[in-house]
Amino acid sequence: MKTLLIITSFIVLGGYLISQVSKQSQKSKGKMGTKQEAKKTYEVQKSEDEWKKILTPEQYYVIRKKGTERAFTGEYSNNHEKGVYLCAACGQELFSSDHKFESGTGWPSFWEPVKKENVEAEEDNSLFMRRTEALCSRCGAHLGHVFDDGPKPTGLRYCINSVSLKFAKKKD
């Protein structure tokens, strides 16, 4: 009887948590302009073998297989230099250091991209969660995720894997 009660409690709690995540996702959808579309064709096209040759194993795992680097281990999580963050796969400008902020999450966080059209948002329902994935609009590289708990003026937090980025220091 106790086992049945415990299982029922977990099911009810799980259902509640899923409904809350779903509500949050629906609220943020319009704000982030998510898309759920068929396989998109990107300007930069390479075979998986070509990607493996130009990316490190960790970059390939994150960028092409939609992995995640461990928190607080990335090269740019604590970078405070002025400059622009580029896509590690294709070199497109993605984020400015002027839009970077300390989120405390262990990943570089930005409140907006350099140009909105350079970073796409797409629904991500993996790992039993509803999230919004951030992708490079030029090559489709997985960058990280976008959340609606960021600072003003956008209220967004682009939580980005360092291995998905290259940093171009601002020249004096």
> How high is the pLDDT of residue 128?
72
Domain count, the chain: 1
Domain span including residue 155: 2-169
Closest among 29, 27, 17 to 129, alpha carbons compared: 17
Task: Spell out the long-range contacts of 22-26 with Cβ–Cβ below 8 A and sequence spacing 24 or more.
Answer: 22/130, 24/130, 24/148, 25/123, 25/130, 25/131, 25/132
Determine the residue type at 169. K
Closest among 171, 158, 66, 80 to 119, alpha carbons compared: 158
> How high is the pLDDT of residue 2?
62
pLDDT tens series, the chain, 172 aa = 666 555 555 454 444 444 444 444 444 444 455 444 456 789 999 999 999 999 999 999 999 999 999 999 999 999 999 999 999 999 999 999 999 999 999 999 999 999 999 999 988 777 677 889 999 999 999 999 999 999 999 999 999 999 999 999 988 6
Determine the residue type at 135. L
Hey, which residues are catalytic here?
Answer: 159
> How high is the pLDDT of residue 101?
96
Residue 106: CATH number of its domain: 2.170.150.20
> How high is the pLDDT of residue 28?
45
> How high is the pLDDT of residue 10?
46
170/79 Cα distance (integer angstroms): 13
- Reply yes or no: is the peptide bond before residue 153 cis, omega within 30 of 0: yes
Question: What size, in residues, is the chain?
Answer: 172
> How high is the pLDDT of residue 131?
84
